């Protein structure tokens, strides 16, 4: 069974600080996919990134970066020089192999990030 | 480009009343469709998913049902709402036969009184 743990319930930072959101996962599959989603106060979940289990290369997109480490089963998300607009709930998710024509993700419980001006 | 619509945006219904939430996707064909519920505490619970017209898979037994009458339309229904049905309902789609990432709609906030 797949499991995603986001141990940080809430993080509060001041603007321009760097912040890392932790995600630890469990799976027995050798092929799987990891995701990060952002949920701003409006409620809609916004897809940020997907990582495949066979690609451990870290990724950077502007102020966002992701560190995927299979050895520790972690997929952490770092925001550099945080801004007030980064305030949101961030979800980490895991999908194992396709089942019945669809991938069924397991979501973590989310980390609420509050960036103060 | 693809867009996903949900309506209504908010809904207040009394206990025992029926429910119908609608989700439509534009700009893609044969998508996989999903209904999630997000209760207080933020966890996302997958309720139903569909890989094609008339094909519904239920993840959690409850008093809700789903239907997919058209390729890009997904409906969530209930004959009699319970207080515990209150929450934020999200519809999502993914590329049928494609990648695993899902794209979410704006959601419907349901309050059962």
| A10-14 vs A111-116, strand pairing mode | parallel
Q: Percent of chain B, pLDDT > 90?
A: 82
Q: Give per-residue pLDDT as tens, A26-84.
A: 999 999 999 999 999 999 999 999 999 998 888 889 999 999 999 999 999 999 999 99
User: Given an 8 Å threshold on Cβ–Cβ distance, is A101 in contact with B32?
Assistant: yes
User: Given an 8 Å threshold on Cβ–Cβ distance, is A102 in contact with B94?
Assistant: yes
Interchain CB contact of A62 with B (< 8 Å) = no
Longest dimension (CA), chain B: 40
Asked if B111 contacts B11 with a C-beta cutoff of 8 angstroms, the reply is yes
Shortest Cα–Cα distance, A105 to chain B (Å): 8
Shortest Cα–Cα distance, B104 to chain A (Å): 6
So what's the pLDDT on residue A99? 75
Q: For A7, list phi and psi in degrees, rounded to 5.
A: -70, -25
The nearest alpha carbon in chain B to A38 belongs to: B104
Q: Give per-residue pLDDT as tens, A97-109.
A: 777 778 889 999 9
- ∠ Cα A99 B5 B2 (to 5°): 70
Other C-beta atoms closer than 10 Å to the C-beta of B22 total: 15
In this prediction, residue B61 has a pLDDT band, given cuts at 50, 70 and 90, of: low
Contacts of A105 in chain B (CB under 8 A): 46, 100, 102
* Mean pLDDT across B87-102: 91
What does the block give as tokens for B105? Answer: 């709609």
Name the DSSP class of A42.
T
Residue count (chain B) = 113
In this prediction, residue A14 has a pLDDT band, given cuts at 50, 70 and 90, of: very high
Q: Average pLDDT, whole number, for chain B? A: 93
Shortest Cα–Cα distance, B55 to chain A (Å): 11
């Amino acid at each position: 069974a797949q499991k995603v743990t986001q141990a940080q319930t809430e993080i509060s930072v001041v603007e321009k600080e760097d912040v890392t959101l932790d995600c630890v996962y469990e799976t027995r599959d050798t092929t799987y996919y990891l995701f990060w989603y952002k949920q701003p106060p409006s409620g809609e979940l916004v897809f940020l990134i997907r990582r495949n289990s066979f690609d451990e290369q870290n990724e950077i997109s502007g102020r966002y970066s992701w560190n995927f480490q299979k050895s520790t089963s972690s997929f952490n998300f770092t925001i550099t020089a945080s801004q007030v607009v980064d305030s949101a709930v961030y979800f980490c998710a895991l999908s194992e192999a396709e089942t019945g024509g669809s991938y069924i993700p397991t979501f973590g419980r989310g980390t609420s990030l509050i960036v103060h001006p | 480009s693809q867009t996903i619509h949900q309506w209504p945006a908010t809904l207040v219904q009394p206990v025992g009343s029926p429910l119908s939430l609608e989700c439509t996707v534009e700009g893609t064909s044969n998508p996989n469709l999903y209904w999630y519920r997000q209760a207080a505490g933020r966890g996302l619970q997958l309720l139903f998913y569909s890989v094609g017209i008339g094909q519904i898979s239920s993840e959690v037994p409850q008093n809700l049902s789903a239907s997919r009458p058209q390729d890009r339309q997904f409906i969530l229904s209930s004959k009699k709402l319970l207080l515990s049905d209150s929450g934020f309902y999200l519809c999502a789609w993914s590329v049928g036969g494609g990648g695993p990432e899902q794209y979410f709609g704006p959601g419907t906030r349901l309050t059962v009184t």
